[in-house]
Structures are given as C-alpha cells and as structure tokens.
C-alpha cells in the first residue's frame, strides 16, 4: 500500500487573500453580501453538523438514505470498469462511504480522492480510510473546486466526480453553468458525475428547514459575523442581527440574510473599512436553490452531460443524479 498522494493547490495565504477580497467587495456593495462558504470554519462546521440533526432539516437524512439504500444500484449503474472516485467538498467523506464500500465489495474501487479546502481534514480522511480500502489508490486535493478542477487525478481509469449535500444549489445560476462547463472540460468522455440536489417541494417544509425551532440555523447564519470578527479584527455585534430566510417561488430559492435590529457602526480594522448599518438593513449571506428533476437534467445536458439515472428518497425530497460526460 503506497502513501496517499496529496495535491496542494491553495495555502493559508491564498485563503486569507480570497477572504479579504470577498469581504471588501461584498460589504461595500449594495445590497451588502457575503459568500456562503465563510460560514464553514471550525465552529461553523460544528454548528452545521448540529443543524443536520434538527428534525426540520431533511436534506442530510434524505440524501444519506438514498446513498445508503441505493449504493449497490449506483455502483452497478456505473458499468463494470474499475472506478476512481473524487468527492468535491468532501469534508469527513461521510456521505460517499456507502458507495465506496459498494464499489470495493464489487472489486471495482480503483481509487478515492477527497477534494476540500481544509488540508487537515483531507489528511485525516486519508489516514482513516487507508486501512479500510488497502487496495485502492488514495490521494487528496487541497483546493477550491470552483478554481482547481484542472488538478483532478487522471490515471486513465474511469472517474466518478461526486458533488453531494445539495451544495450545488448554493451557486447562482451563472455560477452553476460555469461550474458544470469547467467540470466537463476537466473530464474525458464517459467519465461520470454524481450530483446530490434538493428538490422542489412544499415551501412550508423548505422554510422550516431554515427556521428550525431550536434556532441552530439562526446561530449558524450569524456565525459568519464571528468569523469576520476573528479573522479581520472586526467588531460586529452578531446578536443584534436577525436571521432571515425567505422563499422565492419564482426562482425556487431560499435567500438567507442577516437584518440589523438597531443602528450600528462596524470597524473592519484589518481592511481599514468602516461600515454603518441602519435599522432593517440586510447582509445577504447565501442562497439555496431547489430543483425540478427535468430542469436539472436540462442544465446537465446543456453543459455536456447526459443524465442516465436519478434516485430519490421515499418522500422525493432529495435527488441523486448520475450523469455521463458525452
């Protein structure tokens, strides 16, 4: 068993520069906005894990049910060749493990590559999985999958790129199209793409997931201000911002915001920026688009993919789409 290969495409200096650029641009815009990825530092990831355990938050449970129940079927749909799996935004690589095991049981798991911005997490996953899949070629990519898809491993075996958890819906429409085009350019014909997506359903069910009774989503949303306080020497008062989640039926999108509950002045010392907030002024902190299956299949087809299968949980809340690069 060889040591896992690690491809490092980004470092702390890159991350810091990106943070500064995003925050400066977002908070000096009208309306003010911040990228959703800033929520996920150490405490943010812990809050999100707590959020997934709330009874209203159906996404994680529903997708995991699909992957757990359908993993052998998904593995069979990939044909008979050995497969190298790359998971974008892998985190602890918990979502993909049923499929990895199904492929390994069939003697077809050629390799696994977690792709994530957190180097420590990528290393931990590889260390944990090395004894579980001793015959697989393990490697990792430390980078931003909106910028570094050109670094996907290519050992001339068939590849499956997995993008799970509904993160695809956090992109704007233009960002989704650009991501799919970039991914297709990085793949060969007959490589595979496995996409987890939140499906359109009763708006009350969707809104409840972003306004859980325990207030975990609200704390998760406000956490982005703690990140700025910590990393950019800002002096936000997070408790004086109200968590807002709005449903736009025309675009099938949840829009998350933080709304100032009193007039405030905020100093971002590391950027040399002074901000003022009036009562009711908002910071847009992320979106989550929900999809109709046919709509998503059309998006995939328009960017060079052919959808071959779609699996859903028993309520039809989450979809897992398998597409082939054509």
**What pLDDT is attached to residue 1?**
58
Residue 141, phi then psi, degrees to nearest 5: -125, 125
**What pLDDT is attached to residue 41?**
76
Per-state percent for the chain, helix, strand, coil, to nearest 5 = 40, 30, 30
Q: How confident is the model at residue 37 (pLDDT cuts 50, 70, 90)?
A: confident
pTM: 0.95
Contact assessment for residue 227 and residue 39, using Cβ atoms and an 8 Å cutoff: yes
In this structure, the dihedral spanned by the alpha carbons of residues 39, 41, 42 and 48, taken in order and rounded to 10 degrees, is 30
Q: How confident is the model at residue 300 (pLDDT cuts 50, 70, 90)?
A: very high
Q: CB within 8 A of 121, min separation 6: which ones?
A: 90, 91, 92, 114
When the pLDDT of each residue in the chain is averaged and rounded to a whole number, the result is 96
How far apart are the C-alpha atoms of 289 and 236, rounded to whole Å?
Answer: 28
Superfamily of domain 57-202+291-325: Vaccinia Virus protein VP39 (3.40.50.150)
Q: CB within 8 A of 272, min separation 6: which ones?
A: none
The tokens describing 202, both together, are 């009763």
How far apart are the C-alpha atoms of 289 and 313, rounded to whole Å?
Answer: 18
- What is the residue whose two structure tokens read 């977690």? 114
């Amino acid at each position: 068993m060889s040591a896992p290969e690690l491809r490092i495409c980004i470092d702390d200096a890159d991350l810091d520069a990106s943070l500064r650029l995003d925050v400066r641009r977002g908070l000096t815009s009208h309306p003010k906005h911040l990228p959703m990825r800033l929520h996920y530092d150490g405490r943010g990831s812990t809050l999100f894990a707590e959020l997934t355990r709330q009874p209203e938050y159906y996404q994680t449970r529903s997708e995991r049910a699909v992957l757990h129940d359908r993993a052998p079927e998904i593995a069979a749909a990939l044909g008979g060749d050995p497969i190298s799996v790359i998971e974008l935004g892998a985190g602890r690589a918990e979502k993909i493990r049923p499929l990895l095991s199904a492929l390994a049981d069939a003697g077809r798991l050629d390799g696994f590559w977690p792709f994530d911005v957190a180097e420590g997490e990528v290393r931990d996953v590889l260390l944990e999985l090395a004894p579980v899949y001793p015959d697989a070629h393990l490697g990792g990519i430390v980078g931003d999958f909106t910028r570094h898809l050109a670094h996907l491993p290519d050992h001339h075996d068939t590849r499956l790129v997995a993008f799970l958890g509904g993160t695809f819906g956090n992109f704007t429409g233009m960002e989704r199209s650009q991501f799919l085009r970039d991914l297709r350019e990085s793949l060969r014909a007959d490589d595979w793409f496995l996409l987890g997506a939140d499906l359109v359903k009763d708006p009350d069910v969707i809104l409840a997931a972003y306004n859980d009774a325990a207030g975990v989503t609200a704390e998760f949303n406000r956490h982005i201000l703690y990140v700025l306080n910590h990393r950019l020497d800002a002096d936000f008062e997070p408790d004086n911002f109200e968590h807002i989640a709005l449903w736009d039926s025309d675009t099938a999108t949840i829009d998350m915001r933080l709304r100032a509950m009193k007039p405030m002045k905020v100093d971002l010392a590391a950027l040399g920026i002074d901000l003022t907030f009036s009562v009711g002024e908002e910071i847009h902190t992320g979106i989550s688009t929900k999809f109709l299956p046919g709509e998503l299949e059309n998006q995939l087809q328009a960017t060079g993919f052919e959808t071959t299968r779609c699996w859903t949980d028993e309520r039809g809340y989450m979809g897992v789409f398998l597409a082939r690069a054509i």
